[in-house]
Amino acid sequence: MTDHTMMLSHQKKLEWALFLLRFGVFIVMFAWTLDKFISPGHAAKIFEHFYFLNGVGDNVIKGLGAVEMVIILAFLAGLWKRYTYGFVMIFHGVSTVFSWQKYTIDMNLLFFAAWPMLAACITLFMLRDLDVKYILGKPITLKGH
């Protein structure tokens, strides 16, 4: 196997790995976003319990869900990566940090899944220019490749 062939093989593996990370993160974000439409009362309770925002109405929750849906669909499509990948990373990061009681006091093991997902979000943001598989935007090509 030549160096060039090996490099192409590694590049293809990286493209698939980044796509799978993006798709996996999207699935979780999509479920959270759907919850805002299907059960806005549940989402309002989450806002109260974790973010200390009381009295958030159904229309506000659904409006936030609509904005979030547009952003995560653009994220899935690989559009405006600096902003969509950044939003997903920050949004999930805030959610992870605000859930600190679930890691310390309650010791809810399901909440620990947020940390590897946050690592995936950070990885995607850092390597966003290399995430080129199944994107709608024109991929950035690295010189010499």
CB 131 within 8 A of CB 81: yes
Neighbours of 142 (CB within 10 A): 10
Structure-token pair, residue 21:
């990370």
Q: What's residue 145's pLDDT?
A: 47
CA distances from 82 to 70, 74, 121, 128, 137 (A): 15, 11, 12, 8, 12
pLDDT along the chain (145 residues), means of 10: 87 97 98 96 90 91 97 97 98 94 85 95 97 84 55
What span, in angstroms and rounded, lies between the C-alpha atoms of 72 and 87? 9
Q: What's residue 6's pLDDT?
A: 87
Phi, psi angle pair for 9, to nearest 5° = -65, -45
Q: What's residue 103's pLDDT?
A: 85
